[in-house]
Structure 1
Amino acid sequence: MQTRTQIQNFFDRLADTWDEYNCANSEKLRSMLAVAGLPRHARILDVGCGTGILFPYLLEHCPKRVDAIDLSARMAEIAQRKNMDERIHVRHADFYDLNEGSRYDAAVIYNAYPHFLEKALFAEKLFRLLVPGGRFILMHGSGRKKINSVHHGRDASVVSVPLRSCAEEARHLSRYFEIDIRVDTDDCYILSGLSKESASVLHLGVLEGNA
Structure 2
Amino acid sequence: MENLLPVAVVLGSYLLGSLSFAVIVSRLMGLSDPRSYGSKNPGATNVLRSGSKKAAILTLLFDALKGGVPVALVLAFGPAHGLGAGTAAMAGLAAFLGHLYPVFFGFAGGKGVATAVGVLVGMNGLLALAALCTFGIVLFFSRYVSLASMVAAVFAPVYYLFGDGVAWQANGAEVLALSVMALLLVWRHRENINRLLAGTESKLGSKKP
TM class by smaller structure:
under 0.3
Larger Rg: 2
TM-score by length of 1: 0.25
Structure ranking higher in strand proportion: 1
Structure ranking higher in helix proportion: 2
